[in-house]
Amino acid sequence: MLEAGTRAPEIALNDKDGNEIRLSDFAGKKVIVYFYPKDNTPGCSRQACAFKNAYSEYEELGIPVIGISKDSEASHIKFADKYELPFILLSDPELKAIKDYDVWQEKKMYGKVSMGVVRTTYLIDKNGVIEKVWKRAKPDTNADDILAYLKN
The set of catalytic residues is 44
Residue 56 to residue 38: CA distance in whole angstroms: 24
- Cβ atoms of residues 94 and 61 within 8 Å: no
Q: Are strands 12-15 and 104-109 parallel, antiparallel or unpaired?
A: unpaired
Cβ neighbours of residue 29 under 8 Å, at least 6 residues apart? 62, 63, 64, 126
Residue 130 to residue 152: CA distance in whole angstroms: 18
Residue 1 to residue 103: CA distance in whole angstroms: 6
Residue 43 to residue 33: CA distance in whole angstroms: 17
